[in-house]
Amino acid sequence: MMQLSLAVAIEIWLPELRDPHYGYKVARLRERTAGKSHERPLSLVVLGTSRTTYGLQGKPVEEALTHELGRPVVVFNFGVPGAGPITQLIELRRLLAQGVRPDLLVIEVLPPLLSNEGQVPWEAHWLVPDRLEFADLDLLQRYNLPAAELRRACWTNWPVPWYSHRFAILSRCAPAWLPYQLRLDMFRAIDETGYVPSTERSKSPEQHRRAVDYAYQQYSVYLKDFHLGGLTSRALEDLLDLCRQERISRALLLMPEGSEFRSWYPADSWAQIDSYLQNLSRNYAAPLINAREWVDDNGFTDAHHLRACGAAVFSEKLGRELLRSLLGEHRSPSLTERSVKLGTSEEARP
C-alpha cells in the first residue's frame, strides 16, 4: 500500500521525486505565474543546459524588461544539466500539459551537439527511466532512443517508487546520508528566477586546468570531426515546430564560451553552425542572440560554465539584448502586442 500511495503521489503532487531537475523548477515557475489570465505577469522562460543553469541570473533581466515594458515580467531559468533539444522538447511538452504557457521561450543551443557524430544523441545518457513520464516515451523513439526498453523499465520502476526513486527521496529528506555525486537536491536552492545561487570556491590554477581538460574530453568527440546534422538537429527543429504550432514566441540563444573552448571548433565548423542557425532564425521567426564572446575568460570555471561574476555580466547584457532584438525601437506594454518583432505576426493568439 505504501508503494502504491507514493506512486500515485508522484504522479499528482510530487513530480520532483521522479525528475528533480524538472520538478523543483516547474513548481517554482508555476508559483510565479499563477493567477487569472489578466493578472498574470508576462513570462519569459529560458530552456537550456548546465550553461544556462549556472549562467542566467534572472533578476537583472526581469528588472530591465519590467522597466521598459511598464508591467511585471517573470524571467525564469529552466536550465537543466545534461539537457539538449530532446530534453527541452520533453520539458516544453510537460509545461504545456500542466497549463504553463510562456509568452516567450528562449531556447539555448549548445553548438557541439549539432554534430551528427554517433547514432545516439549525447543527452540520451541523462534520459534514464526513473526520470521519464509515460507520456515522454513515444517521443524518444524518433531520436533513436530505445523506447521499448525504456517503457519496460518504467513499468518495472513504477510499482516500487520507494526503491526506484530512493536517491531523490533521500536527497529531499536526508541529503547528508548520500555522497555528493548521488544527491539530487541542487534545485531546492534555486532563487525565484530558477537560478542556483553560487557556492563556488576559488580554484587553484591546477584545478582550473583540470576542469578545462575535462570539458575538452567531454566535447572533443563532437568537435574534432564536426559534421552538422543528425538527430539533435532534428530535435531542435521539432522543438521550434512545436513552438510555432502552439503559437509561442521564440528566440535562440548561444551562451558564452571562453576563448579556449572556442578554439576547439575546427576551422570550417563555425561557418556551418552559423549558417544553419541563421536559417532556423529566418524560417521560424526566432531571433538569434549570439552571446559567445560576451564574457572574458576570467568569468568561466572551465571555459564554458560561468562563474557568478561572469553570470552577472551575461545576464545584465541579455536584458538589453532581448529588448533590442525582440522589441526593436518600439516600446509596448505587452510582448504579445509586438508580435511582429517576437515572431508570431502570422499566428494571432486565440
Q: Alpha-carbon distance 246 to 344, whole Å?
A: 10
Domain boundaries, the chain: 2-342
Q: Alpha-carbon distance 58 to 63, whole Å?
A: 9
> Which of 82, 88, 346, 44 minimizes the C-alpha distance to 234?
88
Q: Which CATH architecture has domain 2-342?
A: 3-Layer(aba) Sandwich (3.40)
Strands, E assignment, 50-139: 73-79, 104-108
Buried b (16+ CB within 10 A) or exposed e, 201-221: eeeeeeeeeebbeebeeebee
Q: Alpha-carbon distance 166 to 168, whole Å?
A: 5
Q: Alpha-carbon distance 54 to 1, whole Å?
A: 40
- Note the pLDDT tens digit of each residue in 87-118: 999 999 999 999 999 999 999 999 999 987 66
Give the three-class secondary structure for 20: helix
Looking up cell 513530480 gives: 15
pTM surpassing 0.85? yes
Q: Give the single-character DSSP code of 115.
A: B
**Neighbour tally for 337: CB within 10 Å:** 12
> Which of 105, 134, 130 minimizes the C-alpha distance to 43?
105
pLDDT (tens, 9 = 90+) of the chain, 350 residues, equals 778 787 777 777 788 888 888 999 999 999 998 865 666 788 999 999 999 999 999 999 999 898 888 889 999 999 999 999 999 999 999 999 999 999 999 999 999 999 876 667 888 888 888 888 888 888 888 888 888 888 888 888 888 888 888 888 888 888 888 887 788 888 888 999 999 876 666 778 898 999 999 999 999 988 888 888 888 999 999 999 999 999 999 999 999 999 999 999 998 899 999 999 999 999 999 999 999 999 999 999 999 999 999 999 999 999 988 877 665 533 444 444 443 344 444 444 44
Supply the pLDDT for residue 41.
86
